[in-house]
Structure 1
C-alpha cells in the first residue's frame, strides 16, 4: 500500500550572484539586451522527521574560477533554516553542472540521488566537446564517481519516488539527464525546475537558455513541468532573482516557497 503523501516546507536559499545581460539568457539572444542577473540557489525540502537538500552549489574557489560572487556560504544559509550540513542525509542533484554539484565535501553523511542518464552524460563522449564540458568541473564529476564506489549514490531512471510526496522526473534538455523535483506542499504540488528553466521568462515565453544539450527536449520539458505542478505559480526556476520577490522572506536572502 502506498503511504499517504506528506506535505513539506520548501525554502529557496540564495548563495551567489552574477551580473549578466538578457542577451546572454536566451537562445538566439534578446533584442532588448537589458540587465538580467543570475542568482544561484539551493533548495531545502523539510518534512516532519527529515530534510532533503536539492543541489549543492559551489564554494569560494569555484566562484573565483568562474567570476561569480558568493553572497552567503551555503552551510550558513542552511543553518538559518535549522539544517546542519553534517546532518544532511539525502541530496538530490538535479544535474552535474558546476553550480549544482559542487561543495563536494560539505555533506559527508549524505547519499546523493542522480539520474542514470546524467552520470552517463558527464562521464562519456560528450565531454570531449568543449561547449558541453565547460559547464562541468572534472573534480565534481570524479568525486561523484568516488561516491558511487563508496555506496553513497542512489541512481534513478526517469520518474521515481524519493519519499511519499517527493518525486524526481527526468527532463533532459539543458543536460542529458537533468531532473526536476516535485514536492507536495500545503499549496499543492510544486516543481523545483532547477535549470530546466533558469528564469520565469524561459518557460513562460518558451525561449530556452542558451546552455543547452537538446533544444527539443528543453521545449517539451516546459509543457511537462506545468503538467506536474498544481499551478504555474508553483513552478520555481533555477536562477531568477524574482523568486526572492515573489515569496515571503525566511531570513537573509532566503524565501519560504511553501
Structure 2
C-alpha cells in the first residue's frame, strides 16, 4: 500500500461577526458573541497538491455582508500554491462560500458528489431558505464544468488518491462530503460544513443551516467515529478556534494559515 502522507493547512480568507443564537438550529439559550470564519484547505504531499473548497469572492462577500480578509488566491500563494497549476479540487458541497472562485483553477478537475449537484438543480431549490445558501451563477459555472468534462463525480466512499479519501455524509446539504487525509500523526478529517463549530459536536446541536438535522446528528454519532478514532481529529469548517488550537504554518501567518497535520498546540 502506498504510504503517502500529507501536510494539511487551513487558510482563513473571510470573517463575519455573529451571535451564538444565530449559529444553532432553533437558537441557543446561552447567547453571546460567536463569530464565524471562512476557510479553504490545502492538502499537500511530496508529489501532489489538492485544494479543498474554493471559498467566495469579494463581490459575493459584499452582497452577503461577509468580510474578505485576504482573497483565496492570496491565501494559497502564502503556501506557494498557484491556483492555475492545481490539478485537483475537492468541493465538499456547493454553497456559495465553498464553491465560488471556480475560474481561479483553469486546469483543475473538480471532485463533487453527484447527489449534491442533483440537490442544487432539483425541487429543494424551490424553498427560498434552502436556495439562499447557494449562488445561482456559481451553480451555472459548475454545470458548465460538467459539460466541459472537468467534473468527476465521487463515489460515496472513495480513495481519490493514496491516503486521501472522500465520504458522502449529507446532513448539511443533500450531498455534503467530508475529506479524510492520512498525515504523519494519523488520519485527519476535514469536516467542512458537516461540522461548523466544535460546539456543534460537543453540544449535539447542529448549525442553523442544516438540510437534515437528524441525519447530521447520525453523522456525529456514527460516521465520524468510523473515519477517525479521536474526535479531536475532526476539523470544523468555520470555527475561529481552529487558528488557536493549531500552530501557524510558519512565522508571520498567525491567525491566517494553520498547519493541521502536526497536531494541536492547545486542548479544547
TM range (shorter): over 0.9
Question: Does structure 2 retain, via aligned residues, the 8 Å contact 1:63–1:69?
Answer: yes
Matched, 1:179 2:177: yes
1:58 — aligned with what?
56
Once residues 73 and 163 of structure 1 are traced to their aligned partners in structure 2, the CA distance between those partners, rounded to angstroms, is 28
Q: Give the RMSD, CA atoms, in angstroms.
A: 0.9
Once residues 29 and 205 of structure 2 are traced to their aligned partners in structure 1, the CA distance between those partners, rounded to angstroms, is 13
Once residues 157 and 132 of structure 1 are traced to their aligned partners in structure 2, the CA distance between those partners, rounded to angstroms, is 24
1:256 — aligned with what?
259
TM-score (norm 1): 0.97
Give SS of 2:9's match. Answer: strand
Question: Does structure 1 retain, via aligned residues, the 8 Å contact 2:224–2:231?
Answer: no
Once residues 94 and 240 of structure 1 are traced to their aligned partners in structure 2, the CA distance between those partners, rounded to angstroms, is 17
1:79 — aligned with what?
77
Question: Does structure 2 retain, via aligned residues, the 8 Å contact 1:58–1:101?
Answer: yes
Once residues 28 and 61 of structure 1 are traced to their aligned partners in structure 2, the CA distance between those partners, rounded to angstroms, is 30
1:98 — aligned with what?
96
TM-score (norm 2): 0.94
Shift of 1:156: 1.5
Question: Does structure 2 retain, via aligned residues, the 8 Å contact 1:168–1:180?
Answer: yes
Once residues 136 and 216 of structure 1 are traced to their aligned partners in structure 2, the CA distance between those partners, rounded to angstroms, is 22
Once residues 132 and 237 of structure 2 are traced to their aligned partners in structure 1, the CA distance between those partners, rounded to angstroms, is 19
Once residues 164 and 207 of structure 1 are traced to their aligned partners in structure 2, the CA distance between those partners, rounded to angstroms, is 34
Q: How does 1:105-116 map to 2 (within 5 A)?
A: 105-116=103-114
Give SS of 2:226's match. Answer: helix
Once residues 124 and 245 of structure 1 are traced to their aligned partners in structure 2, the CA distance between those partners, rounded to angstroms, is 39
Once residues 50 and 236 of structure 1 are traced to their aligned partners in structure 2, the CA distance between those partners, rounded to angstroms, is 21
Shift of 1:27: 1.2
Question: Does structure 2 retain, via aligned residues, the 8 Å contact 1:174–1:212?
Answer: yes
Shift of 1:226: 3.0
Matched, 1:225 2:224: yes
Question: Does structure 2 retain, via aligned residues, the 8 Å contact 1:93–1:113?
Answer: yes
Question: Does structure 1 retain, via aligned residues, the 8 Å contact 2:14–2:70?
Answer: yes
2:236 — aligned with what?
237
Give SS of 1:244's match. Answer: helix
Give SS of 1:33's match. Answer: coil
Structure 1 unaligned runs (5+)? none
Once residues 248 and 227 of structure 1 are traced to their aligned partners in structure 2, the CA distance between those partners, rounded to angstroms, is 26
